[in-house]
Amino acid sequence: MKILQVISGLGNGGAEKFVVELSNALSKNHTVMLCSFKAVDGHFHFPELLNTSVTLTTFGKTKGFDASVYSSLSRLIRKEKPDVVHFHLDATLKYVMPLMAFFFRIKFIYTIHSDLNVNKKKIFSQLSRISFVSKRVTWVCIAPAIRMEFEKAFPSLKFQMVENGIAELKCTSLAEEVKMEVAGMKLTGTTTVLISVAKLNGNKNQALLMEAMKQLNDRNVILLLVGHDSSSDQHYLKKLTAMSSGNVFFLGLKSNVADYLTCSDAFVITSLNEGLPISALEAFSFGLPVITTPAGGLKDLVEHGKNGFVTKDFSKEALLSSLKEYLDLKDGQKEKIGQENRRKFLAHYTMKACAGNYESLYTKN
């Protein structure tokens, strides 16, 4: 089978990493091409992980609407004649949709990487009115809760579900160095280390986490904040830095996340909107309890008290309550939660399983 994966860019987000890892997995049994509308920037880490068996094509698209993407993508499809065009992220919709009228033999798959937020409601309200599009595209949700949201809001569209998976992270040659680095941040030898891995922005809502950490200054706990502010003026990072109470460490963008996960005790997510975050699955693979807000597929991933904690709402009080609930657990309880997450990862969230489910969807009539 010939598969073309299409994405707007290969930045440092979870969806971008997912597409690279899915392409790698599928290339073991199929011919896989990956198309990025934007050029690959030198500071993007994920393209470096792409297998040599996957052909990467970029169009050099810049900011804003670019009509040349239509012709570039059309030429690529005509040349390669893929059996499946699998596209991702909102920015690809306006470029792929018009081309469907010219490629009737191709199967089009679109993965929805987030929950039903305001932007998605607007987009799918328009799409649901176009019968041609609704019939030509297989719409894929990445978690049960997200599928239920979309099915309820747009009954005229048919949604499938393929839960996200990841290629298991491996520690690097820097692991011992990172271990010493984190040890130097600890208050004592028994300090609890929380970690959060995400872009620094309003949707990821790290400001909420900063507020909660202020209230934990009397507890033997620190937070490692891994991620970067992609805005030109770094305004969100400046905001978070100003809120810091001394028990938070800003580590920036890291390509060796696994090394930091092995030095951590629990993983924290404070997003307002989410899909099924790759970072949370990575935490699961390392057996870390996950403390999360009730965003998107995280409600399916984390069962409160069993393999982590889901806050009642998005308030500081709710987050603080869940953080304290975790911190007050006995070591044996924390270990049991970690074992449950590792088991759940191996049973449901490997990239091998995810790629197999997509293969079944590609060949489904």
For residue 270 the two structure tokens come to: 């404070």
Q: Which CATH class is domain 2-167+350-363?
A: alpha beta
Alpha carbon distance 316, 319 (integer Å):
5
Beta bridge partners of 225: 196, 250
Place of tokens 């070591």: 331
Q: Where are the domains of the chain?
A: 2-167+350-363, 175-348
Instruction: Judge whether 100 and 133 are in contact, CB under 8 Å.
Output: yes
| Residue 42: per-residue pLDDT | 63
Alpha carbon distance 185, 48 (integer Å):
30
pLDDT in tens, 260-294: 999 999 999 999 999 999 999 999 999 999 999 99
For residue 269 the two structure tokens come to: 């997510």
Q: Say if residue 365's pLDDT is above 80.
A: no
pLDDT in tens, 66-91: 999 999 999 999 999 999 999 999 99
| Residue 47: per-residue pLDDT | 72
Instruction: Judge whether 44 and 12 are in contact, CB under 8 Å.
Output: yes
Helices (H), the chain: 14-26, 68-80, 93-96, 118-127, 131-136, 144-153, 175-185, 206-214, 235-243, 257-261, 278-285, 298-301, 316-327, 331-348, 351-363
Pick the CATH number of 175-348 from 3.40.50.2000, 3.40.50.300, 3.40.50.720, 3.30.420.40: 3.40.50.2000
Three-class SS state of 81: coil
Fold agreement (2-167+350-363, 175-348): yes
pLDDT in tens, 201-211: 999 999 999 99
pLDDT in tens, 31-57: 999 999 998 876 667 777 899 999 999
pLDDT in tens, 307-357: 999 999 999 999 999 999 999 999 999 999 999 999 999 999 999 999 999
Angle 23-294-338 (CA atoms, 0-180°, nearest 5)?
Answer: 70
Alpha carbon distance 212, 245 (integer Å):
10
